[in-house]
Structures are given as C-alpha cells and as structure tokens.
Structure 1
Amino acid sequence: MNRRPAALLAAATMTAAAVFSLTACGGGSADSEDKDKIAGADDGASKSASPSASDDGIDRPRINLPKDVKDVFEGGRTGDPKKDAVLADNARRISSVTEAVTVDAEKHPALKFYSSGDALLSAANHVKGFYKKNKSFVGTTRYYDRKVTFLKDGAAAVTYCMDATKTYPKDRKSGKVDRSIPASAQDYSFYNTRLEKNEEGVWQTTSVLTTVAAKRCMP
C-alpha cells in the first residue's frame, strides 16, 4: 500500500539519521519513546501561524509553497524571544523541505539556509527520492507539541509531533492526486531535532531523530 508523502518524510529522515546520535539532547533511539524527552530546561507552547518574514535584519530566502500545500504550526509563541526565534527557524526549516519537494525549481536556497550537517544530508536525500519517483504531494501537514530546550553547549533541541493525515501523493508528471489512502498510525511522527545558531544568527537544524507511528502524537 502506498504511504502518505509526509509519512515518507519521517521514514526517510529516520533512515538518514540512524548514523548519528543526539547525545547532546539526551540520546535515545528512534524506536524508544521513553527516551524522547529532554531534560534540563523548561518549555512552552501556544498557537502560531506559518513561518513568515522576520524583522531581525537577517536576509532570508523566501519560501513559497503551492496553493494546495500548507504547513500548519502550533506552539510558536512562548513569551520567550529566544525560544520563539528557535521555533520560527524550526518552522522555516520544515517548510524549506516542503518547498523543495513540491515546487519545481532549479535551486532551493532555503533548504541549505536552514539545514546543515546530517540534517541537510537527510533533507537532500528525501527530496531526491521524491523527484526520482516523479512524486510530489498536496494537502495540509500539522506540526504541534513543539518544545524548546536550550543545551549546555549553546545549541537548542526542538521536539515536536507531525500529523500527516491530510496529505496526499501527487504524480509529478500527470498532476493526478491520490486521495484514496486512509489515515493510519504511520501518519503520526515524533521529531527530536538539534539546532545550532550560525554566524548569521540563523538557528540551523543540524540533526534529526524520528519516531514513526509515535503513540504520543496520536489523538
């Protein structure tokens, strides 16, 4: 059975991420939900919109998604400006991957702008997989329970859930969308990511660890 495209994103990320360990985030394997929690700092969550332009003076690449593709983010306003900045760049990184998959363009500058290291490698492999199979997707992907933890080395960890039940695969050549795929446990994934602030002041995602069919993310 074909799987939903956003669920394939989680699977691809998990495969690429298996070669490293988020030791600074507390470790844990992609199959263990008990180890997904990060100790060391408080967190917060509230409703927020999709990533938008920033007034921090950073020259950021524009991210433009197709009209039939939407990333919805919850938990972007914590009341802590530093945490909010991390969550904003986390959201932009997610949408940069979505753009690279769903928008046919020669270059996708936002992908490299918001990802580096192992996270950039996993994202590039994921995007390449879609193009190789002549696939894209449409629909809405929801990201929620987003929490920030600041680490002793100056990096940040962001954990969050993904709900891909409203996304559907699209054939890149014909444009046909398959809406027959039923929702399943595979549509819910938990992410444990590491972000590091670069010289430009951007919180780049450097590594990603994923739990597919995460019970903690299911309704």
Structure 2
Amino acid sequence: MNRRPTLVAAAAMTVAAVLSLSACGSDEGESQDNDKIAGADSGDKKRESPSPKSPDDGIDRPEIRLPKGVDNVFEGGKTGDAKKDAILADNERWVDSLIEAVTVEAKDHPALKYYAAGDALISSAEYIQGFQEKDRSFVGTIRYYDRQVTLLKDGVAAVTYCKDGTKTYPKDLKTGKVDRSIEGSASDYAFVNTRVTKNDKGVWQTDSVTSTTGSKKCVS
C-alpha cells in the first residue's frame, strides 16, 4: 500500500467536491512526470526557516492548525527578495491547508479554498477524496526542501520543491491504528512543480500543480 501524501495533477471532479472538502482517508494516485518549469529554469534556495502563519500584511487570513503528530517542515523561506519570500510563505500555507484538510475532520476547510484556485483546487479535492474513500489519513513529518521561486511575469510565478515523506505512516480512521512498519523508499520522495498567481487580496494562490514521485532530483 502506498501511504505517501503526494499530490497529483488535476483530474475531473464535481464542483460539489471542490466546495465541500471534509474529513479524510487513503492513498494518493499516480503522479505526473513534470520536472521542468514551463518558461523558466532557475530560482533561489536558502536555509531552513519556520513556516509563517500570521504575517503582518493586513490580510485577514484563515487559521490553519495541523493535528498533534502531523508536521510540515519547510527548508528555506528567506531569499532576501521580498516578493519571493511572500510567494514561498503562501506556498507553505497552501501546503499546510492541504495537509490540514487530509488530517483534520471538519465539514469545511476554508484555508484550502483560500490558498488554492483553479486546477490546483480541483487536484486538492481529488487528493482528499482519495483518503476519504478508504478511511485513511496519516501521521508523521513531511520535509520540503530545495524550494525555488521563479518569477514568470507580473503576478505569476513558479514554485518548485522536493518532498520527503519517509517519516509519514498510514492511519486507519476506523480503528485509529497507525502502521509504523512500512520502511521508506525512493517512492516516498517527490518533485513538485506549482504555478502561483497573486489575487486581488494580495495572496499568492496555487492554481496548478504536478508532482513526480521518485524523481532523481529529490532522492538522496
């Protein structure tokens, strides 16, 4: 059983599924191979820093809370460029909101719909539904590293990064049991390629995403 929280590219989903994202359970689907950024090939990479939650930017943002035992660890985040730093910060919030939607039982997940749009929101709904259908969630720590931002045009950028899910373990929502017997492998790593667009509130929303499981860019 594949236990990895790896987001796949968008597939057909109903509008209702997108607008009513609720509690969790299962595996991700097959990811698409997309190691190159369209129209760009470089960015910035920096040292580890904590994920920003409540910036002093005047924007009224929804709260995101991950449950005990679930952690996202982001490396990088301070590039020295204010725009790129803001993009990375909102990328973190999108990731946190997605993992919250998978691991926290709730009728609605406003943060996810705040930080995702377009195909990325549809992809997110599909991803969450995959967990729900099999009454699965997960616990553990996901590491995000080699994070790079490429400014493409006014109000649009690409964010790429590697993801290490070797320290995550499947949780059966019916029994509450966690299977910690599964050892990490190359398939637990992924290269993620996203596009972000700045909306009229000043938020950098993720509007498209693809991931490559087992990418050589990311496997140690």
Shorter chain as denominator, the TM-score bin is 0.7 to 0.9
Distance 2:41 2:4 in 1: 34
Q: CA deviation at 1:51?
A: 3.4
Structure with greater proportional helix content: 1
Q: 1:162 to 1:176 in 2, by over 3 A?
A: same
> How many residues get paired?
202
1:3-14 equivalences in 2 (<5 Å): 3-6=2-5, 9-10=6-7, 13-14=8-9
Q: CA deviation at 1:41?
A: 5.8
1:10-159 equivalences in 2 (<5 Å): 10=7, 13-14=8-9, 16=11, 30-31=32-33, 33=35, 35-36=36-37, 39=40, 42-159=43-160
Q: CA deviation at 1:107?
A: 0.9
Q: CA deviation at 1:43?
A: 2.2
Distance 2:43 2:170 in 1: 38
Distance 2:45 2:97 in 1: 24
Distance 2:168 2:10 in 1: 21
Q: 1:51 to 1:137 in 2, by over 3 A?
A: farther
What is the match of residue 206 of structure 1? 207
Q: Is the 8 A contact 1:134 1:173 kept in 2?
A: yes
Q: CA deviation at 1:40?
A: 6.4
Deviation sequence 1:23-46 (CA, Å, 0-9, x none): xxxxxx94354x358636642322
Q: CA deviation at 1:209?
A: 1.6
Distance 2:180 2:164 in 1: 16
Distance 1:104 1:60 in 2: 20
Q: CA deviation at 1:210?
A: 1.2
Which letter does structure 1 place at the counterpart of 2:183?
Answer: P
Q: 1:38 to 1:123 in 2, by over 3 A?
A: same
Q: CA deviation at 1:119?
A: 0.1
TM-score, normalised by the number of residues in structure 2: 0.86
Q: CA RMSD in A?
A: 1.9
Q: Is the 8 A contact 1:38 1:149 kept in 2?
A: no
Distance 1:126 1:42 in 2: 28
Describe the SS at the equivalent of 1:71. Answer: strand
Q: 1:51 to 1:182 in 2, by over 3 A?
A: same
What is the match of residue 174 of structure 2? 173
Q: 1:177 to 1:40 in 2, by over 3 A?
A: closer
Q: Tell me, which stretches of 5 or more residues in structure 1 are unaligned?
A: 18-28
TM-score, normalised by the number of residues in structure 1: 0.86
Distance 1:200 1:52 in 2: 17
Q: Is the 8 A contact 2:4 2:188 kept in 1?
A: no
Q: Tell me, which stretches of 5 or more residues in structure 2 are unaligned?
A: 13-30
Distance 2:115 2:184 in 1: 30
Q: CA deviation at 1:128?
A: 1.3
